Structure 1
């Protein structure tokens, strides 16, 4: 926009925030006119919305999101949770930023927080996409590295939890089966059972921790997993009859 005259850049409160000052009034007017917020000798855009004509092209939308994020945006530590937000003064500003973000496939939403309006995204993949939209390459790589490790850890935890649940289920079933077999043994003796059922009963008593597949393989002749399960279920029914329970 041909802003050639010198500008002053001052650090605010010794922090990471800097203020750019332009003292040349003609240059200020030219910048405001370029941004289409200055008409008839005054600032015409009271809500400080960006003129839609300025953000028609993809490159302009990228620059718009990048500028909004640099002005009032933040990303939470991805090790804890995924959250990107841009804080706005008015709902109109927030809705405009949200709508432009969503043209890149994001699912940004707006929420009121005290007197401000916050545009936010909480999905990790969408945050990565927005960092890419803003061309924040280093930040994107750092975010993705954390996200990959986090998702791998979560995947391992889910697998361990699933295996633990399956193991608990197997152990509970084996305990119940052994109780049924012992009830039959102590009541009428295992000889009461048909040969096929008796073979499974003895194998289960001798191998309380073995799964059904392995249990079937040690029988003579071998029996499939479903066959072993059927026989153990039949043993359970017999035990229920002997104890006066329902079949």
Structure 2
């Protein structure tokens, strides 16, 4: 099962004791993946559709526990898509009316008048949990961080975005064909979202992945930094050897001061040695800064010799 599927399994198994939170969660499920139908006799019917059996079971149990209402469950198999759809249906008019009035999805005159209004923080958590169960998904955190809930209208998406942002998160909205998607991309915010929805097991799994990825990134940064330093050191050593050999071929190393000549010979004999190692080979030993100073001086002499030779050639 995918990580997203595991999150839904965990959320579907989570039960809140407060009735008002159960109503908020059911309200999200109905508004995000449900439909309200009115027949020719003005009788109401609620249909909740999902392809996740755990979500269907959650809807069935929520309605039974919260309202003591029994529902019908229909199963349809799509052979072309190789998928199964589950429908939780409330056929009785009075039962449907009772549910819709409790979830504030309709007025007393049986016409829908507004969207869900969730005032308490615990109810907002429950609503977001229901919204994710109904229309949410997450990417595999080993590959990328992405959390989204698909809404069928801009107004619904904006209300959901506002609710998520109320928990100090930066939710965004993007239009995808006819739908509007509320999403999070930051790993830390997705962790917070799992905590808000009370998916604590999935939260720990995601945190473990984040820690491992951060450790890998830290190691890679150190390796890259060390590699860059090694390349820089090797390039400098190659340049130093070239300068010393140039002086040796042109004016001779004996033209250098005693300290610089010793430095040049030690570098020629130890082209792979570090500055510290070179300093230890000198007599008396010299620190890294002293070695670096002498090598820079040798390079300056090499450059001056090149310029002098170039000037003489131009005169000729």
Q: TM-score, normalized by length of structure 1?
A: 0.89
CA distance in 2, matches of 1:205, 1:172: 15
The yes-or-no answer on 1:41 pairing with 2:110 is yes
Structure 1 residue runs without a partner (length 5+): none
Summarize the Cα distance change of 1:38–1:172 in structure 2 as closer, same or farther, 3 Å threshold: same
> RCO higher in 1 or 2 (8 Å CA, sep ≥ 6)?
2
Q: 1:5 — aligned with what? A: 69
Which residue does 2:94 correspond to in 1?
26
1:17 CA displacement: 4.8
Q: CA RMSD in A?
A: 2.0
Task: Look up the SS of the partner of 2:87 in the other structure.
Answer: strand
> Unaligned 5+ residue runs, structure 2?
1-22, 24-65, 311-316
Provide closer, same or farther for how the CA distance between residues 144 and 201 of structure 1 changes in structure 2, counting only shifts above 3 A: same
Query: Which 4+ stretches in 1 moved above 4 angstroms?
Result: 14-17
Shift of 1:130: 0.9
Give the whole-Å Cα distance in 1 for the aligned partners of 2:170 and 2:285.
Answer: 56
Distance 1:167-1:17 versus aligned 2 partners, 3 A rule: farther
Between Structure 1 and Structure 2, how many residues are aligned? 240
Change (3 A) 1:167 1:188: same
Aligned position for 2:116: 50
Between stretches 136-145 and 229-238, larger displacement belongs to 136-145
Q: Which residue of 2 aligns with 1:160?
A: 223
Alignment equivalent of 1:196, drawn from 248, 256, 259 = 259
Q: Give the structure 1 partner of residue 47 of structure 2.
A: none
* Distance change >3 Å, CA 200–CA 94, structure 1 → 2: farther
- Structure 2 CA distance for aligned equivalents of residues 11 and 220 of structure 1: 89
Aligned to 2:286: 223
Q: 1:151 to 1:12 in 2, by over 3 A?
A: farther
Q: 1:64-123: per-residue Cα shift (whole Å, max 9, x none)?
A: 211111111111111211111111112222222222222223222111122211111111
C-alpha distance 209-105 of structure 1, shift in aligned 2 (>3 A): farther
* Partner residue of 1:114 out of 161, 177, 188: 177
The 3-state SS of whatever aligns with 1:125 is helix
After TM superposition, the structure 1 = structure 2 runs for residues 1-247 of structure 1, keeping only pairs within 5 Å, are 2-13=66-77, 15=83, 17-39=85-107, 40-45=109-114, 49-51=115-117, 54=118, 56-244=119-307
Q: CA deviation at 1:174?
A: 0.6
